Amino acid sequence: MSEVKRPELEELCRRLVASSRGSLTSVIICTEEAEILAHNPVTEVDQDAAAIAVGNMSAFRYMSQAYGFKPPKRIDVDFGDEKLIIKPLGSLILVAKTSSKPNLGLVDLLLEQVKL
């Protein structure tokens, strides 16, 4: 199924980066096993960011089950100026890296609109 969707996912990554007006420097979509299905910029493959997203998402999903919370809708990691945003997309995971001092309102809006 993921094979069929790859061009759509590539387009989604491209659109997010392009629409963010420089606030998003890269977007990755990967499986829950850290296999990268799509990424933008196309020249950058950040396997480590995908693995970190998978590790965090699995831990928080476990925690939400253990404490009876709803599954996480988004995980934001604040590195000071830059941020790493992890968002589940069905069975896939979206990982977005922001530039320093991003327009967070725009980033939130763009990510809220993402649906597969």
Q: Which is nearer to another protein, 48 or 105 (CB)?
A: 48
Q: Which is nearer to another protein, 64 or 100 (CB)?
A: 64
Strand boundaries in the chain, DSSP class E: 24-31, 36-40, 75-79, 82-89, 92-98
> What minimum distance in Å lies between the beta carbon of 58 and another protein?
4
Q: Which of 18, 42, 44, 47 binds another protein (CB under 8 A)?
A: 47
- Residue 14 binds another protein, judged by CB under 8 A: no
Mapped onto helix, strand or coil, the DSSP state of residue 112 is helix
Q: Which is nearer to another protein, 52 or 114 (CB)?
A: 52
Q: Burial, 23: exposed, middle or buried (Cβ in 10 Å; 0-12, 13-18, 19+)?
A: buried
> What minimum distance in Å lies between the beta carbon of 92 and another protein?
12
Distance separating alpha carbons of residues 83 and 97, to the nearest angstrom:
6
